[in-house]
């Protein structure tokens, strides 16, 4: 992480913890949106590009939220993407030639932390992805995936004019409460289990994860989507965790009461979403496995398991 703009070489994936050994995720520091003037200029045809770029990692569920939203909303031609290597190096996320990542020679930076210090020379905090970067102003517009999805869906609507609305006004309250219900218990719950530093903190997280998965399995008895009867951002937020569950969390984070493959409704839901290219093409199993299993604190030998083989891998080819 960075302290007053200086990279600390002792990188600790455990982030912060409380006095009971519970994992605490850092809150995001940059919470702006894309300039309305630029959006208007692109919409009116005065300029061609938004002057923004999205930095992501395929391993990262939060970053993948933004990739899926970008694809669903038809923003691929407006927002270029740079994909870092799946392994966190001693200097954090970097471009280092891993297959499927953006070649280093195409990038003006090597490490993601360079964006943070360029944006704020005194930045203190973790250099996380996703980063929505202003290529004109050389600043971080936003580094919070929840915001970035809403910027894409709402603020960029005049640019994409998509038929897809990931957060329709009428469903907003339900979307927010669904998101809240799954965030701490499941999206972040798996991390709370994986990075717990006491047995009690792990047990608490494990129980939250499976209480929520069991609730979701019932929910999908009579629902096709997370909220309402259309695809929303809640589906994206749920999908990115489910897609990593059996291949990474079940083993590495010890959330091993059951796999998603053991839940009939959740498996069918995954199959339904994966028929959409926005979900399948942004799910890179090799990056996910290689990335998670490279976390030395949890897997000192760095051995990446071969399995499991999952039914839905067929959608990824
Ligand atoms: N709140 C952020 C969280 C992003 C985040 O934690 N990303 C992880 C990867 S999955 C990261 O970059 N970690 C690097 C680090 O902690 O040093 C979001 O949702 O955008």
Give the distance (Å) from ligand 1 centre to CA of residue 27. 9
How far apart, in whole angstroms, are the C-alpha atoms of residue 52 and residue 139? 10
Tens digit of each residue's pLDDT (9 = 90 or more) over 247-300: 999 999 999 999 999 999 999 999 999 999 999 999 999 999 999 999 999 999
For residues 57 and 129, is the Cβ–Cβ distance under 8 A? yes
Tokens standing for residue 169: 């006004």
Phi, psi of 140 (to 5 degrees): -85, 120
> Can you list the alpha helix ranges (DSSP code H) found in 100-160?
113-119, 145-150, 157-160
Task: Check pLDDT > 80 for residue 16.
Answer: no
Q: Does 60 sit in the ligand 1 pocket, CB within 6 Å?
A: yes
Domain extents in the chain: 2-160, 171-275
pLDDT digits (tens, 9 = 90+) for 176-204: 999 999 999 999 999 999 999 999 999 99
Q: Which residues form the catalytic set?
A: 60, 191
Q: What percent of the chain has pLDDT over 90?
A: 91
Ligand 1 centroid distance, CA of 259 (Å)? 24
Choose which CATH entry (3.40.50.720, 1.20.1050.10, 3.90.45.10, 1.10.10.10) describes domain 171-275.
Answer: 1.20.1050.10
For the stretch 33-85, pLDDT in tens is 999 999 999 999 999 899 999 999 999 999 999 999 999 999 999 999 999 99
CA–centroid distance, residue 12 to ligand 1 (Å): 13
Kindly report the protein residue whose alpha carbon is nearest to atom 5 of ligand 1.
128
Considering only 82-86, 229-233, 308-312, which range has the smallest mean pLDDT?
A: 308-312
Give the residue carrying structure tokens 């050389």. Answer: 138
Residue of the CA atom closest to atom 12 of ligand 1: 128
Question: What confidence tens digit (pLDDT) does each residue in 96-112 have?
Answer: 999 999 999 999 999 99
User: From ligand 1's centre to the CA of 48, what distance in Å?
Assistant: 31
Residue 14 has pLDDT above 80, yes or no: no
Q: Which atom of ligand 1 is nearest to the CA of 11?
A: 17
Q: Where would I find the H helices in 73-198?
A: 113-119, 145-150, 157-160, 172-182, 189-194
Look at residue 209 and tell me whether its pLDDT is greater than 60: yes
* Domain boundaries 2-160, CATH class: alpha beta
Tell me the CA distances in angstroms from 91 to 32, 54, 132, 260, 263, one per residue in order.
Answer: 26, 20, 20, 33, 39
pLDDT of residue 17: 83
Residue-wise pLDDT tens digits, 82-97: 999 999 999 999 999 9
Among candidate residues 158, 220, 212, the one with its CA nearest the CA of residue 185: 212
Residues 138-166: pLDDT tens digits? 999 999 999 999 999 999 999 999 999 99
Q: What is the pLDDT of residue 129?
A: 98
Please list the residues that pair with 83 across neighbouring strands. Answer: 56
Whose alpha carbon is nearest atom 14 of ligand 1?
A: 128
User: What pLDDT was estimated at residue 18?
Assistant: 87
- Verify whether ligand 1 is closer than 6 Å to residue 145 (CB atom): yes
**Residue nearest atom 11 of ligand 1, based on CA coordinates:** 128
Q: Is the pLDDT of residue 15 over 80?
A: no
């Amino acid at each position: 992480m960075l302290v007053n703009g200086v990279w600390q070489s002792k990188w600790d994936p455990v982030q912060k913890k409380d006095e009971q050994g519970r994992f605490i995720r850092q809150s995001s520091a940059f919470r702006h949106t894309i300039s309305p003037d630029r959006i208007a200029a692109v919409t009116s045809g005065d300029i061609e590009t938004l002057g923004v770029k999205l930095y992501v990692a395929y391993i990262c569920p939060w970053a993948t939220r933004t990739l899926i939203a970008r694809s669903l909303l038809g923003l691929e031609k407006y927002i270029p993407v740079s994909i870092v290597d799946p392994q966190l190096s001693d200097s954090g996320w970097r471009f280092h030639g891993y297959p499927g990542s953006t070649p280093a020679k195409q990038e003006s930076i090597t490490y993601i932390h360079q964006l943070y210090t360029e944006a704020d020379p005194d930045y203190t905090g973790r250099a996380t992805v996703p980063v929505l970067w202003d290529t004109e102003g050389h600043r971080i517009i936003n580094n919070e995936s929840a915001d970035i999805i809403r910027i894409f869906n709402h603020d960029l609507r005049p640019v994409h004019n998509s038929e897809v609305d990931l957060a329709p006004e009428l469903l907003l309250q339900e979307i927010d409460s669904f998101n809240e219900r799954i965030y701490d218990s499941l999206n972040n719950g798996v991390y709370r289990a994986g990075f717990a530093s006491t047995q009690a903190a792990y047990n608490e997280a494990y129980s939250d994860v499976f209480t929520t998965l069991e609730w979701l399995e019932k929910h999908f008895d009579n629902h096709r989507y997370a909220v309402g009867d259309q695809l929303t951002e809640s589906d994206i937020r749920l999908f990115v965790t489910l897609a990593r569950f059996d291949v990474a969390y079940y083993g590495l984070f010890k959330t091993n009461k059951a796999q998603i493959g053991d839940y009939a409704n959740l498996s069918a839901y995954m199959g339904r979403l994966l028929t959409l290219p926005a979900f399948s093409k942004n799910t890179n199993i090799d990056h996910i496995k290689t990335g998670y299993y490279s976390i030395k604190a949890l897997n000192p030998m760095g051995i990446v398991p071969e399995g499991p083989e999952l039914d839905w891998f067929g959608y990824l080819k």
